[in-house]
Amino acid sequence: MPSWDVAVFGGGPAGAMAAIAAARGGARTLLVERYGFLGGQSVCSLVTPWMAFHSFERQVVAGIPQELVERLVAMGGCPGHLPDPLGVAATLTPFDTELAKLALLQMASESGVELLLYSFAFGVVRAGERLECVRVAHKGGEERIEARYFVDATGDADLAFHGGLELRSGRETDGLHQPLTAIFKVGGVDVEQLETHVREHPEQFLLEPRFRNGGMPVIAISGFFEEVQAARLAGKFPIARDRVLLFGLPRRGEVAVNTTRLQRVDPVDPRALSAAEVEAARQILTVQALLVERIPGFSKSYILQTPVQTGIRESRRLAGLYELTGADLARGADFHDSIARGAFPVDIHSPDRPGVDCEAGGRQPDYGIPLRCLLPPAVSNLLVVGRALSATFEAHASARITPTAMATGQAAGTAVVCALPGRADLRALDPRPVRDRLRLAGAIV
C-alpha cells in the first residue's frame, strides 16, 4: 500500500494550499519542497503584493488563501486588501514575505501535513496511466515517494515533464517566454517626498482616476518614464524596461522594486538561469543607482533584501483536458467544473521589447477555471496546479497570478479528498462534490 494518500511537490502558494486542503480533509499528506521554507516564489522571489483577490465587483479568491491573509494581518504582516491605486486590479494585498514563511509553516503543521524539505524531485516512475512514485534527491541520497495521488505544484510542471506528459512552453508564435524579474526590497525611502511628487505630477504616472488628485491608500507606482529614458540616454540604464514599478511594504519606508527585466532566458535551463542570476545582480545595482540619483524620496535609500532566486513568470504549462483561452477570459466564462476563479487582467511583459504587450487596466470580468485545466489526459492520478495549469500564453498571463494559483491549489487538495474513497480516476471525477466541498471551506468557485 502506498505510504501516502497524496504527495504534493512544491511548497509554493499553490502547493501549500493543496497540502493543507488535503490534510484537513483527512488525507495522509506529504509536502515535498526544495527549500527550507514554504511560500515559493511569493517569498523567495519577493513577489509582493498579492493581486488580485477581487474582481471589480466582488471577492473571487477566499477559502484557505483568505485565512492566510487574516493570519498575516493578526501577525502585523499585512494591512489586508486595499484599493489598487494603479487601477490594474480592484485590490492589492501587501504582505511581509518573512512572516508569510512562518504563517505557512504554522498552517501546514496545524493541518497535519508532513513536510519533507530540502528535497528535489528528479524523476517519475510511471506505469501506464498511473504515476507509481516520484524519485527525490536530498542530503540522505535518493528516496522514492509512493502515493495514491500526486499534485505537481513545482511551477515548472516537473512531475508532468519527468512523466513524459504533453506540455506547452512560451509564446505560441515563437516560443519566447515572459521575462524574468529580480524584485528587491529597498529601505530608507522618504515616503512623504515620494507621495508628494506623485500627487503633484499625476500625469507622469499610471494611476486610477480617483487617486490622481488625492492620497494613495498604499504606495503603488508605475511611472517615472522620463527619468528612465534620461538615464538610458546617459548610458546608465541598459535594461529593457520603460518605467519604474514599485510597491509599498507593510513597514513604512520600505518598498519592493519590480523593475529589472531579463529577456530571452529559458526558464528551465539551469545554465541559462545561472547566467540570469549574474545579470540580475547587475541590474539590481543599476536600478538602485537610478533610484538614488533620479527618483524623489530615494536619495538616502539602500538595498534591504534581494531575492533567493530571480522570479519566473512562466515556463512549462500542462496540455490538459481543457486549455483556458484568452476568449474565455474576455467573456468571463464559467464552466460546469469551475473550481477556482481568476480576475487579473492579461498582463504580458514583452519577451522582446521594453514595454508591456497588453497594458493592464480596464474591467476584466472574473472567470472560472475548470478542474480539467489541472488534469493531464494521459494520467489518472495527477493534478498540475499553480502557474503550470493548462492555458494559452495569453490566458496564462492572467491565471498565473498568486491568489489564483492558491485557489487552484486548494481545489486540487479538495479533489483528492473527494477521489480517495473510491480510488477514482481524477479524469472521471464528478466535479459537483468538489465544488460543494470547496464552498463549505469558504472557497469561491
**Cis preceding linkage at 49, omega within 30:** yes
DSSP-H helix ranges across 400-440 = 402-419, 431-440
- pLDDT tens track for 220-237: 999 999 999 999 999 999
- Ranking 123-137, 204-218, 226-240, 281-295 by mean pLDDT, the lowest is 204-218
The H or E element spanning position 77 is none
Whether 358 shows a pLDDT value over 60: the answer reads: no
pLDDT in tens, 314-351: 999 999 999 999 999 999 999 999 999 999 999 998 88
User: CA 6 to CA 112: how far, in whole Å?
Assistant: 13
**Cβ of 110: how many Cβ atoms within 10 Å?**
11
Using an 8 Å Cβ cutoff, are 52 and 89 in contact? yes
pLDDT for 362 equals 52
Give the lowest-confidence range in 56-60, 162-166, 269-273: 56-60
**Residues 195 and 216: beta-carbon distance below 8 Å:** yes
89 by Cβ neighbours in 10 Å (0-12 / 13-18 / 19+) ranks as buried
User: What pLDDT score was predicted for residue 34?
Assistant: 97
pLDDT tens-digit map of 101-142: 999 999 999 999 999 999 999 999 999 999 999 999 999 999
Q: Which of 344, 407, 402, 403 is nearest to 370 (CA)?
A: 407
Calculate mean pLDDT across residues 31-37: 98
Using the predicted structure, report yes or no on whether residue 38 has a pLDDT greater than 60: yes
Q: How confident is the model at residue 356 (pLDDT cuts 50, 70, 90)?
A: low
For the stretch 382-409, pLDDT in tens is 999 999 999 999 999 999 999 999 999 9
* Whole-angstrom distance, CA of residue 156 vs CA of residue 384: 10
Instruction: State residue 135 phi and psi, 5-degree precision.
Output: -85, 130
User: pLDDT category, 215, cuts 50, 70, 90?
Assistant: confident
Give the single-character DSSP code of 338: E
Summary mean pLDDT of the chain: 95
Distance between CA atoms of 352 and 331, rounded to whole angstroms?
Answer: 28
Q: What pLDDT score was predicted for residue 332?
A: 95
DSSP 74: H
The answer, yes or no, to whether residue 353 has pLDDT greater than 90, is: no
The pLDDT of residue 213 is above 80: no
Instruction: For the chain, list the domains and their CATH numbers.
Output: 4-175+314-440 (3.50.50.60), 184-305 (no CATH)
Q: Give the per-residue pLDDT at 2.
A: 78
- Residue 358: alpha-carbon gap to chain centroid: 19
Q: Give the end-to-end CA distance of the chain in Å, rounded to a whole number.
A: 34
- The three grid cell numbers given for residue 348, joined into one nine-digit string: 504580458
Q: Which sign does the torsion angle of CA 204, 209, 212, 215 carry?
A: negative
Nearest to residue 321, comparing CAs of 251, 440, 425?
Answer: 425
